[in-house]
Structures are given as structure tokens and as C-alpha cells.
Amino acid sequence: MVINKRYFLIVIFFLFLIQLGFTFGNRETEEKPKTIQVTGIVRLVGSDTFPEIVISGSGYEWYVPREERSKLNNLQHRTVTVEGEETVLQLMFANGMPAGTRRELKNIKIIKIH
């Protein structure tokens, strides 16, 4: 029986994709977002090309996703209290060393503008 090289490479490629999915897509190891209330100053950070909105307070910075920026754009440099789902991501350098923690807030509701 002769195995065609093309079919062999396709099978190896799909096996690789399946393994990659099990490695990176394991939902059991991801933390579930928890709803928290945050009070802090709304700031614009980053470069002109990639600006990001953060809420700074209590020793942490919570990044706001691009799709929710419009809620806080007009509140820059003001103190706000918001409620949202916090997701904590552990960042890693390319060599596998820890690079810090990134906190994100999604589904934001503005509670109070100080």
C-alpha cells in the first residue's frame, strides 16, 4: 500500500490542529469572569495607533475592551464607579517567563460619576 504524501501531510496537519485545540482551548483551566465594582480614574493609555482606556484605582488598572470604550470616552480624567465582569490574564514573555497580570472589565455599567 502506497501512502500519498499529500494525504499524509493533511492528516498530520489536522492532528496538529486537534492537539493545539486541546492544549489552548481547555476551558477548565480558564478562570470564570466575576462581577466586581471598581472606583477609579478613567485614563487613555498606549500609543496614538493603539490607544486603550483603563480605569486606575485601588492599586490596579482595569483595561476596557475596544467595543465598550464609547461608554467611557467622555469621562476621561474623571473618577467613576463602574460594575463589570473582571477577567484576569497572566501574561508571559516569549521565553516562558511571567510578564505580569492584565485585568480586563467587560459588560460595564456606570454606577456613579464623581
- Segment 43-49 shows an average pLDDT of 88
In a domain, 48, yes or no: yes
Cell numbers linked to 44: 487613555
In a domain, 77, yes or no: yes
Residue range of the domain that includes 35: 31-113
Half-sphere exposure of 65 (CA within 13 A, CB side): 11
Instruction: With beta carbons less than 8 A apart as the criterion, state whether 75 and 113 touch.
Output: yes
In a domain, 70, yes or no: yes
User: Per-residue pLDDT tens for 51-101?
Assistant: 899 999 888 999 999 999 989 989 999 999 999 999 988 888 888 888 888
In a domain, 7, yes or no: no
* Domain of residue 65, CATH code: 2.40.50
pTM of the model: 0.68
Please state the domain count of the chain: 1
Q: Which helix (H) or strand (E) holds 14?
A: helix 5-24
**Phi, psi (deg, nearest 5) at residue 75:** -110, 20
In a domain, 9, yes or no: no
Instruction: State how beta strands 34-46 and 79-92 pair.
Output: antiparallel
